[in-house]
């Protein structure tokens, strides 16, 4: 609590620091507001999942129907 409250009190008690702080805050807000996601760049969850790969470049996410078969194939490889 003190780590948050004391710097705010100090900044607002000194006019020079207050002006600098408010200017930085306004610039940061304007920068973050401009960095928002554009409508054309939106991807569905399915598209995001299709791009997931392991460190060796293999596909990482599969549809439910494939997962059971893949699990048992890998299990069979381990047993042999």
* Confidence at residue 78, expressed as pLDDT on a 0 to 100 scale: 92
Reading the block at residue 7, the tokens are: 């710097």
How does pLDDT run across 27-75, given as a tens digit for each residue? 888 777 766 555 555 667 777 777 788 888 888 888 888 888 989 998 9
52 within 8 A of 61, measured Cβ to Cβ: yes
The predicted model scores a pTM of: 0.37
Q: In whole angstroms, what separates CA 57 from the centre of its chain?
A: 22
* Confidence at residue 75, expressed as pLDDT on a 0 to 100 scale: 92
* Confidence at residue 65, expressed as pLDDT on a 0 to 100 scale: 84
Residue with tokens 């780590």: 3
Q: Would you list the domain boundaries of the chain?
A: 2-37, 44-79
Rounded Cα distance between 53 and 22, Å, is 44
In three-state secondary structure terms, 37 is coil
How does pLDDT run across 12-25, given as a tens digit for each residue? 888 888 888 889 88
């Amino acid at each position: 609590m003190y780590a948050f409250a004391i710097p705010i009190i100090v900044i607002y008690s000194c006019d020079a620091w207050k002006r600098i702080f408010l200017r930085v805050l306004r610039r940061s807000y304007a920068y973050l507001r401009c960095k928002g996601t554009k409508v054309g760049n939106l991807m569905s969850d399915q598209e995001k999942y299709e791009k997931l790969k392991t460190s060796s470049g293999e596909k990482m996410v599969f549809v439910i129907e494939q997962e059971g078969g893949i699990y048992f194939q890998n299990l069979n490889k381990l047993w042999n």
